[in-house]
Amino acid sequence: MDFQLTEDQQALKSGVRELLEGRFGGEALRAAVGPGDASGSEVPSLDRNLWRELGDAGFFSLRVPEAQGGVGLALPEAVLAFEEAGRVLLPGPLVATFLAARDVAGAAQGVTVVTAPYGGLVPWLDAADVAQGDVSGAVPLRSVDPLTPLHRVSASTPSSAPSSREGSEGGAEADLLLAAEQLGSAARTCEMAVQYARERTQFGQPIGAFQAVKHLCAQMLVRAEVARVAVYAAAVTGDVLEIAGAKLLADEAAVRNARDCLQVHGGMGFTWEADVHLHLKRAWVRAGLGQSAARAEEELAAAL
């Protein structure tokens, strides 16, 4: 047993990080979000060039077998890539396109954009070329996340019993990839809080020297690390229950870390300029997509 990342996995992770930071760093994120004034109810547009570059780099074909032109890697590697995507808040229907890479022509190359309903919500419906699953009667919402347009679909597909979850919206793999993104976001907001706590001074010293701030930061790290091992282990075992637990803990880590990060930033945290709110809003959206906390807890309880 060696539960640490292999050298290849470390290289993959830093490779994806470099690619994403180069192509979708802080500047690009802010440009995509726009000024955020009250009048601006614009729907964001999907950056097709970026999408194709991700396709060229093999992001979507990570799990497609080499014989079919893919990279031929497994679930743990997919999770590492999605963690990085979550770190930079990469926009777009990443999970659905990734899962469609084998079946939908052009998805692997990033030419075809695919979306699907998860948990009664459909992200990026208007921008997608293909919608998998039943999206009839989808109604647009004014999405809380400026980078994730949403539609709501009526819950015509009855919320399925635990045993049939594989076949339900998105399935366990979608939940795991969403959880990986949440993990990336949770780790990132912890870093943002720590960095700010080192720089910002009040009462003649960095606020990070105050224990009340320190303890917020320590708890953020603990949440992120617990989510990390849960997500990584679920990727290794592929176990449906373990994935349910990972989604539960990662949703919580992403949402609560973003809130604590906002608190550490004080008034600055409440501004549009600070990226903290983007992490919080995306964390809410991802928690709303896929398996809910209530469902996960019921499933885990049933197995006790």
Binding site for other proteins (CB under 8 A): 1-6, 9, 76, 190, 194, 197-198, 205-206, 208-211, 213-215, 217-219, 221-222, 225-227, 229-230, 232-233, 235-237, 242, 244-246, 248-249, 294, 296-304
Q: Identify which of 135, 178, 174, 127 has the alpha carbon closest to the alpha carbon of residue 155.
A: 135
Contact partners, residue 62, CB within 8 Å, separation at least 6: 70, 71, 73, 77, 78, 81, 98
Q: For other proteins, which is the closer residue by CB, 67 or 203?
A: 203
Q: Which is nearer to other proteins, 181 or 299 (CB)?
A: 299
Side-chain-side CA neighbours of residue 91 (13 Å):
28
* Nearest one of 102, 16, 85, 227 to 112, comparing CA atoms: 102
Residue 124 and residue 121: Cα distance in Å, rounded? 10
Q: How far is the CB of 14 from other proteins (least distance, A)?
A: 16
Measured CA to CA, the distance from residue 187 to residue 91 in angstroms comes to 18
**Shortest spacing between CB 229 and other proteins, in angstroms:** 4
For other proteins, the closer of residues 47 and 242 by Cβ is 242
Residue 263: CB minimum distance to other proteins, A: 15
Nearest CB to other proteins, comparing residues 38 and 304? 304
The rounded distance, in Å, linking the Cα atoms of 233 and 228 is 8
To other proteins, the closest distance from the beta carbon of 201 in angstroms equals 10
Minimum separation from the CB atom of position 191 to other proteins (A): 9
Which are the contacts of 209, defined by CB distance < 8 A and separation ≥ 6? none
Compute CA 140 distance to the chain's CA centroid, rounded to the nearest angstrom.
21
Nearer of residues 134 and 225 to other proteins, judged by Cβ? 225
Distance, CA of 200 to CA of 203 (rounded, Å): 10
Minimum Å distance from CB 21 to other proteins? Answer: 21
What lies within 8 Å, CB to CB, of 240 at 6+ separation is 165, 166, 172
By beta-carbon proximity to other proteins, the closer residue of 48 and 215 is: 215
149, 124 Cβ separation under 8 angstroms: yes
Cβ proximity to other proteins, 98 vs 232, nearer residue? 232
